[in-house]
Amino acid sequence: MAQQGTPDEACVRRDLSARAGSFLAVWGAPVLIGLAAGTLAPSTAWTAGAWSLVLAWMGGACLVNARRCGRLHCYVSGPILLVGAGLTAASGGGVLDFGPTGVSLIVAATLALAVLTYLLELVWGRYRR
């Protein structure tokens, strides 16, 4: 009888962020789209709209990935990205005023916080058990 893989092996197989191709498609491409929108968009509202969609996509993907494989940083970065999407939309829509660079600051802070969640894995491991 073939031996089942260890729980970590099963987690790695289901982890969308563990493979370069899926990582780039699900998280890398949206960042490039957001950067392009920031460069090419006709207004701050358009830039904010694009980044809101991109951050929401990435946040949703993190939550899906957390559910699929238990990736620790996804449990934290998913909500961070979704809050960033909401703040970006509110700033771009004029609901909240963070000044002329507000959208850029929100996006930069959101992405930086999401990246920092990888540090959690150094302390508690990559996958939730």
User: How do residues 26-77 score in pLDDT, each as one tens digit?
Assistant: 898 999 999 998 888 788 899 999 999 999 999 999 999 999 998 999 999 9
Q: Residue 71 corresponds to which tokens in the numbers above?
A: 């990736």
CA 76 to each of CA 21, 35, 59, 93, 128: distance values in angstroms, whole numbers, following the listed order: 22, 23, 10, 26, 12
Looking at residue 26, its pLDDT comes to 86
pTM of the model: 0.87
Q: How far apart are CA 73 and CA 66, in angstroms?
A: 8
Cβ neighbours, 10 Å, residue 32: 11
Q: How far apart are CA 97 and CA 123, in angstroms?
A: 37
Q: How far apart are CA 118 and CA 74, in angstroms?
A: 9
Looking at residue 115, its pLDDT comes to 95
Q: Residue 123 corresponds to which tokens in the numbers above?
A: 């302390």
